[in-house]
Amino acid sequence: MLGFSILAGASAAKPALGQVTQITEGLINTAIAYEISERCDSIGARWLRGVAVLNGLQNHARELGYTEDEIDAFTSNRAEKDRLEGIARARLVELGAQPGDEASHCAVGRAQIAAGTPVGQLLR
């Protein structure tokens, strides 16, 4: 019986990468920062920091036991990209950014920078 328990635990499936909170939150924060930098001329993205965050997320996925093929499949999955972008846009609206309104995106960006949030750390 103990042997079965060990085997059952060893074969337990990992959650889909899209369900790993640290991964999805990192991607959502990066998307929010990107959107702010695209919509607000006075705020730029910290590209090297953004790349470092994305590389860190990839490394974290590897540490969790995901293969390169699993990571590549997740990052190239259009439905997942759309889902995470939708969450990022909804959060931007919750934070006060209005679609097509540069001033509101700038205000959100400045607030994120001032608060030192993960989004703010990706902006300058």
pLDDT (tens digit per residue) in 66-95: 999 999 999 999 999 999 999 999 999 999
* Secondary structure (H, E, C), the chain: CHHHHHHHHHCCCCCCHHHCHHHHHHHHHHHHHHHHHHHCCCCCECHHHHHHHHHHHHHHHHHCCCCHHHHHHHHCCHHHHHHHHHHHHHHHHHHCCCCCCHHHHHHHHHHHHHHCCCCHHHEC
Residues 12-40, mean pLDDT to the nearest whole number:
94
Residue 7 to residue 24: CA distance in whole angstroms:
29
Cα R_g (the chain), whole angstroms:
18
pLDDT for residue 88? 97
The structure's pTM equals 0.85
